[in-house]
Chains A and B, each alone.
Chain A
Amino acid sequence: MSGALARALLARTAAVVGGLVAAVAALVVLLKAAPGDAADLVTTDPTLRARLVAEWDLDAPIHEAVGAALSGRWGQSWTVRPGADVADLVMEALVQSVPLWLGAWALTLALGIGWSSQAGRARWQGWPVLSAAPVFLLGWAAIVLLNETAFAAMGAGWINRPAWFSLPDSTSFLRSALAMTVLAAGSGGLRSFVDGARSRLEVHRMSPAVEALVARGQPTRRLLAWLWVPDLSVLAAERGALLFGGLVVVERVFAMPGAGSLFWEACVRRDQPVVVASGVVAALGVALLRWLADMTRVVADPRLRELT
């Protein structure tokens, strides 16, 4: 590995780690500032409340809370699953969310790259209308449409009760596939990815290097792909980070257990350890994605090493 590349990688890594530390600190500070706390949810008895505040260390200084958050000493859940180890809770939830996230991300990349690499504009001009709907609305519409159709067909005697009925109550492949698709396509995410990828591809198509190849009658696909990779890595990282947030919505709408619904529950129930742990994990995920994108760009584009 060349010195410039190594320095570039190191600098990028340091920036990512620094950002992560600052973000966790900001999260802890925000939570400390929250009016109302978990003890309020358990009891209004002042004596019991005082004991809970002491046991949960609600009055711990900020630097101690930040240190505990960063070192993974998350303790036990207060109100979501009282007494449960937070690390175990979050890991179990992650195991359930990762396949959904990975599937949606892969779908976005596959559809996005495929669509945006088509020369010219997409034939169906109306498809952005579908993609524009918020994730929850798409999910609601899909669930209601499928359920009502199936229920009417069952009532008319046309079909037996399908294994997936009724959504999203029962665990089924259809529920997972639907959730993945809605997560990938909703809130304009897929459209934004396609637009971003296509615009960068068009810029590269007009670059001098590509034009030179065209002038010589040589294929441009490999060069375009190589030029496109850094842009795609950035777009993919951004899309992946956005999908983390989308998990919260999709898991709630489709009644799927996972890190998103755990985070929601923890926010509403003021379960600070779980919020902090989930926030740290989410920030880690975003940082990892951005680091991977950065590494890809730096490796693919030597010019970027000189700018570091």
Chain B
Amino acid sequence: MTLINVERIKLFSTRSPYWCLIAIVVAALGFATLFGLIESGRAAITYLVLRGTSLGMSIFMVLAALSITTEYRFGTIRNTFLAAPRRPTVLLAKTVLIAVLGLVVGTIVALAAFYLAKGLAQSPLVPMELNSGDDWRQVLGYGPLFAIAGIIAVAVGAIVRQSAGAVAILLLWPLLIESLFTLIPTVGEKVGPWLPFAAADKWVAPSSSISDLFQSTNTGPTPIQGLLVFAGWALVLWLVALVLLQRRDA
């Protein structure tokens, strides 16, 4: 608990987290506004409206990765380890802080984006409602998604120990690597949907027949499987980070 507070002080005593948070809000609400206004909100469907929030998740990963890579960049990681020589607890504290922050930010931003688009859209194709559990999942699902993405980012940051490298990996991975992977014949089609970010996307994608509009094939994980796959990747990466952190010189 003490160390979580320490991580909180560290995170919020620099400027970059604030800029990242602002960028997340702008991305999420900006996208929602566009979908709400263009063509009187005809395309305002929850999944599409919240694509901006999904972009916000990438920005949140940048925030999370920077929380550890800047410590390496400026050497403060050594001050951290001098003050708390048990490194696993340091990584755990940082991860918990980022995960909780991600949960809060993801939930708030997704809800805000949803209601903003709902309020702006005058004649949506399908009314934007939060009736079924399925509807709720597509919005509130961003909370856990942000949290897990944050854990992945902290892990990657701890493994790479370099801002540019970590950010590049975290941005290129979902945007490029996974989509390129699906192009590989046979294997790509089968394995592609189980890659972390594709799987994560399933968790906030509509599961009903509407999904056929956006996805050519409906194979791959179910929403809950998607979330578990994403969490599994996070756990594996985090454990790798933990082992490296313990073994390497600070």
Our verdict on whether A and B bind, yes or no, reads no
Interface residues of A (CB under 8 A from B): none
Interface residues of B (CB under 8 A from A): none
